[in-house]
Amino acid sequence: MRIALASDHAAIELKALLRDWLIEMGHEVADLGPETTDSVDYPDFGYKLAEVVADGTAERGIALCGSGIGISMSVNRNPKLRCALVAEPLSASLCREHNDANCIALGARLIGVDMAKACVTAFLETEFAGGRHQRRVDKLSNPNC
């Protein structure tokens, strides 16, 4: 799977660990930055991540910042993105199954590496259920549906 990752300065370490792990798992990974712990603005990286998922360059996105809150808000500014902030695997699975999430956000200051990997695994392995959920997902991008 083609996966894009982006973070702010607070999540550099977790992003690097997840990037390397995903590559080991056989995924094609695009690390959209940043590369250092110098202070950056999370919206810049959230917007960049949203753009590559929206245009199909990446199939899924993983957004990270200190809490996961700010970067998820910036990703969700793009009407083609459905980014869910998750902290455990059940939410990561349900956001795919019921909401067809194409991005998850993780809070690097709030989640450990093993839990982050469990969330990513659930997110990548769960299929969208469709059916009654489809009309709701359609309304996320077009409220007039």
Can you say which residues are annotated as belonging to the binding site for D-ribulose 5-phosphate? 8-9, 66-70, 99, 109, 132, 136
Closest CA to 68 of 90, 84, 52: 84
**Count helices and strands in the chain by DSSP H and E runs:** 6, 5
Catalytic residue status for 65 = yes
Contact 74, 42 (CB under 8 A): yes
Q: Which residues contact 12 (CB under 8 A, 6 or more apart)?
A: 34, 35, 36, 37
State how far Cα 109 lies from the chain centre.
Answer: 16
Select which of 27, 83, 98, 145 is catalytic: 98
Catalytic residue status for 98 = yes
Can you say which residues are annotated as belonging to the binding site? 8-9, 66-70, 99, 109, 132, 136
Contact 63, 98 (CB under 8 A): no
3-state helix, strand, coil in the chain (%, to 5): 45, 15, 35
Select which of 65, 83, 95, 103 is catalytic: 65
Catalytic site residues? 65, 98
